[in-house]
Amino acid sequence: MLELELRHRAGDLDLDLRFSTQARTLGLFGPSGAGKSSVLNAIAGLLEPDHGRIALDGDIVLDSAAGIRVPTAQRRIGYVFQDGRLFPHLSVRHNLLYGAGAQHESRREFETIVDLLELGSLLERRPQTLSGGERQRVAVGRALLSRPRALLLDEPLTGLHAEARQQVLDYLQRLKRELQVFTVLVTHHADEVAALADEVVRISAGRLVRQVPIAEFIARRAAFAPATATR
Amino acid sequence: MTLLAPDEWQALALSLRVGVLSVVFALPFALALAWLLSRKRFPGRLLLESILFLPLILPPVVTGYALLALFGRHGPLGELLGTFGIVVAFRWTGAVIAAAVMGFPLLVLSIRAAFDNVDRRLEAAAETLGAGAWRRFATIVLPLSLRGIVAGCVLGFARAFGEFGATISFVSNIPGETRTLPIAIYELLNVPGGMPGVRRLAIVSLLVAFGASACATLVAGGAPWRRRSDA
């Protein structure tokens, strides 16, 4: 569950948003420059808004009025960046383990995630030797192994060719089925939202335009079409 | 062994010792200052940078005089160290301090450039995975800038190895104690029949300088993971 209230101005960005959701997977949908990634950065603590209040499962991670700001490292947010941001000097195994604890349970989780994302054959490789799709799978695995209470996916399929895109999308759908992690998916592609989200928040120019269940989004996709960048 | 006379070996050994120890002594301070300059904005930053560059700009003899004024028997730091029975003026330890001060700006500049080149987004990714500031520094910033740090150390060593003006002003020319290789060359230049010795020591200096330069170039040539990804 996410409750979010944000106001932030910086350069061209003028963010003024307020919404809450109980959905398991929220699609944050809108055109480029709408402020979607800034919302994710604020949730992760990488952006300190001018004013804001963010609560995850009832726990306040940011309340600027009350002077509360939980540091990023303590928010337990799994963030999958658009460019993966794998550590180039570490093997896939060590990338995956970076945010994982040392306990026995972590080893079991490691094996589960490696199996789920079929990363077994990649473990000893360096990120530079991976394809774009493999890189994103590792980034997703790494984020999940940090035991996040929220998984943030920032355009995870952008830049991938059609086959890799479909492959990563399949893995994300599988994760959604098998793991119960609250997820926010940022994208400007309606088909990705339709494939993964339970609820959709459409934003434009930093403002909330509409918040609808996925069924309504799919049924009235045409109404959302103007926000969708052509692929 | 007739390659070098015993006192020439002594001067070479002292210069090598001074070069290595000055880098070892300066490195922790250089790392801290380089990180501060690379990552933080604070009042007085410009002043700090100006002070940092002073040893590069000031005539080395002036730096040596300043060190003597500070660390001499009646200098504020000299008196303080004297209470612990430590004397550095006119001692080889003073030569280490002089070399460390003269090489410090080069060390800081190299390390700072290496820190600047680390992709800050990787640090943000590490932060979302629960890594605090020290862990990010130790596991992301340091390994990714290791080559720049090593290259800086080699340059710092080379600068220290060739240090003359500040050393002779601060610790004078005491055979077996403070007569480093450059000071020995200077001494031989002023002694009738000293030219063969000057030539020998000049060749040794050239070899050490070339070795250091080659090392720095090799080490700073680029991380293997970058080279692979560029290929």
Indicate the pTM of the whole model.
0.84
Sequence-distant (≥ 6) Cβ neighbours of residue B38 within 8 angstroms? B112, B115, B116
- Between chains, do A76 and B121 touch, taking CB under 8 Å as contact? no
Whole-number Å distance between alpha carbons of A166 and A186: 17
Sign of CA dihedral A197, A202, A208, A214: negative
Closest-CA distance of chain A to residue B128, Å: 5
Contacts of A99 in chain B (CB under 8 A): 128-131
pLDDT of residue B222: 53
Which of A98, A126, A142, A152 is the mutation pick for testing B, counting most B CBs within 10 A?
A98
pLDDT digits (tens, 9 = 90+) for B60-114: 999 999 999 999 988 999 999 999 999 998 999 999 999 999 999 999 999 999 9
Chain A and chain B share a number of CB contacts under 8 A equal to 65
Instruction: Break chain A into its structural domains and give their ranges.
Output: 22-45+72-227
Contacts of B231 in chain A (CB under 8 A): none
- Between chains, do B125 and A88 touch, taking CB under 8 Å as contact? no
Of A222 and A132, which is predicted with more confidence? A132
Of B102 and A222, which is predicted with more confidence? B102
Q: Over its length of 231 residues, how does chain B's per-residue pLDDT go in tens digits?
A: 568 889 999 999 999 999 999 999 999 999 999 999 999 999 999 999 999 999 999 999 999 999 999 999 889 999 999 999 999 989 999 999 999 999 999 999 999 999 999 999 999 999 999 999 999 999 999 999 998 999 899 989 999 999 999 999 999 999 989 999 999 999 999 999 999 999 999 999 999 989 888 887 887 665 555 544 433
- Between chains, do B131 and A99 touch, taking CB under 8 Å as contact? yes
For A42, the closest chain B residue by CA position comes to B128
Q: Which of A77, A128, A142 sits opposite B229 (nearest CB)?
A: A128
- Between chains, do B130 and A146 touch, taking CB under 8 Å as contact? yes
pLDDT digits (tens, 9 = 90+) for A170-203: 989 988 888 889 999 999 889 999 999 999 999 9
What CATH number has the domain spanning A22-45+72-227? 3.40.50.300
Answer whether residue A71 shows pLDDT above 80. Answer: yes
A224 contacts chain B (CB < 8 A) = no
Closest-CA distance of chain B to residue A224, Å: 32
Pairing of strands A182-187, A51-56: unpaired
Percent of chain A past pLDDT 90, that is, above it, reads 70
Q: Chain B 175-214, CB below 8 Å of chain A: which residues?
A: none
Whole-number Å distance between alpha carbons of A203 and A29: 6
Whole-number Å distance between alpha carbons of A171 and A158: 15
Q: How confident is the prediction for chain A on average, in pLDDT? A: 90
Contacts of A98 in chain B (CB under 8 A): 126, 129, 131, 139
- Taking alpha carbons only, the member of A74, A114, A83 closest to residue A97 is A114
pLDDT of residue B226: 53
Inter-CA distances, A113 with A46, A137, A147, B154, B199, Å:
26, 10, 11, 44, 67
pLDDT of residue B215: 81
pLDDT of residue A60: 96
Domains of chain B from N-terminus onward: 6-38+53-226 (1.10.3720.10)
